[in-house]
Structure 1
Amino acid sequence: MAKMGKMPHVKRNFYYIIGCMLWAVLQGTSRAQALVFEHGQMGTLFRIQIIADDSARAAAAAKAAFNLLDSLNLIMSDYRSDSELNRLSATAGSGQRVVVSPALWEVLQLSQAISRLTDGAFDVSIGALTQLWRRAVRQKELPDPQRLKAALSATGYRYIRLYPKERKVKLTRKGMKLDLGGIAKGYANAQMQQVLRQYGFRKTLIEGGGDLLAGDAPDGTNGWRVLVGSDTVSLQRAALATSGDDFRFVEIGGHRYSHVINPRTGMGVTHRTRVSVMCADAALADALSSAFSVMGEAKSSRYAPRLQRKYDFAFVWHLR
């Protein structure tokens, strides 16, 4: 795993463009080349970079990875009415225990673990709140207080029950809707990396909506060179996820609300900070960056030791 310097709190302004990462410029042999493949999914653009001397095989690997991404979207999308996630949400409050796919089970298990360790700062049960804020963005007005109250009453990770022996899930709160937006892209990156490895490609870099996952370093380098704020870091065999409000926010009544929702208050986060998390697990990096974004810098620093006793990760705050 690459190192992010000494991981200090960064106290300077910077500009960070999701999807415009500093991709490595490689000076290799005449055969090896850096091939880039792109595919839109999960509301963002996914990009795969592969170091390969066989462009046809690399293209086949990328296609297989993107096919897997499409299948994961069918499982985890909260936009598609026919997704497995929304079919599960439709059973909320019914008392049903629903058998879920291995992929959805894996994501929900990790989500619940992070929710417990962050006291609900990360919570995939916020789907009803998400829908209200999508409307708020379109209408440029805050959610109706009564609807917000109703959505909050249907939110809470403790209302999600997992039954490991049966791989079943029960949503105990009527009206609950699940939203995996804070973890699904990281999980998808990890699954796509496995596909690329099956094709024999280990020198890869995957990016989806600002979440990065690096494989082995290109020859002659100590890692893939990427931008984190105004700093350039080398990344290899590690994931890097960044959460903030640079591009997804709404301004209402003179206040700026992030697309990141605080599950306790139901409101979009208003503190103007950004956090990057680096670790070996791409889904974990995605979830932790979301949780820390909700908690803010001071609270995140208090919770970090608890989380680091279970997970190995580094994080850095970028303040404006």
Structure 2
Amino acid sequence: MTPPARFHELRLWLGIERNTTRHGEKWISAVGALLGIVAVYWITRAVLPSHALVLPGGVLMLTSMGASAVLLFAVPQGALSQPWAVIGGHLVSAAIGVTCQKLFPDQTWTAALAVGLAVGSMHYLRCIHPPGGATALAAVIGGTQVHSLGYHYLLVPVLINVAAILAMALAFNALFPWRRYPAHLHKRAQASPITQPAQRQFELTQEDLYAAMEQLNSYVDITSESLTELLELAKQHAERNITHPGEIIAGRCYSNGKLGKQWSVRHVLASDALPAPRADGMDYRVLAGDDIGTLARCSVDELRQWARFEVKPQGNGRWLKVE
């Protein structure tokens, strides 16, 4: 296995995704998270009376709000970030955590039971929110101060914290039209379809999408609405060029236009890189896909039939179609 192939395999094992967001979007996410935590702090402090239970930080604020801030401001369109996921995830988990602590106090396995039941409940109630696991855990390991709150913990600090960070997420993300929050609130303006659905040979349907997700049998952090829109935009983009290139030019890169593991990008080499070249053959190196780093040779016609269109690198492992 070549070094590029080893690195590609390691990236897949570690789950390192190619981040396609621009620098401005990253800074917007950071500023939003900062303002979100500020809102949680000041709103909770304003709501709580002066004699309320406080922690060393000055006011009772859940540490799990930090994790919620990541989702609400860095991934505002994700399924795990939507309002019901945030509200239900925290409140359901808090109730489970308090109940477990009351039923099985001072047991070494109580915290684990609370988190496990919280995850299962969030699944069934369709409100999976990872920070909810931390909220359930805090109800058990938070010490006597948190234990003394009992089910009041659901109101102070959980509900107040959740309301504060949701309010900031709604206000902040509304400043940027492309940051839809909730995901259903803002509709991205779409260009007129290049090909009408009735003219397509194979048209994906909503039923196909649901069937595929059911077959996958794994929770996907994207709403079905956003996924449908993404697929439609991808199909429109693909329809701009449905023919194979008429000429393969040495020194350029070509994609086979497929998805997933079948996708591949080849760089056509300008000179022979392999011994004993065949007549009318061209050498190429695989730059993306499962066989990354591989050197091979094929005829010009074979390469042209394999290629769908020319591509150019855009950094971060991204490739764009050359119009």
- What TM-score do the two structures reach when normalised by structure 1? 0.23
Comparing both structures, which one devotes a greater share of its residues to helix? 2
- What TM-score do the two structures reach when normalised by structure 2? 0.23
Larger radius of gyration: 2
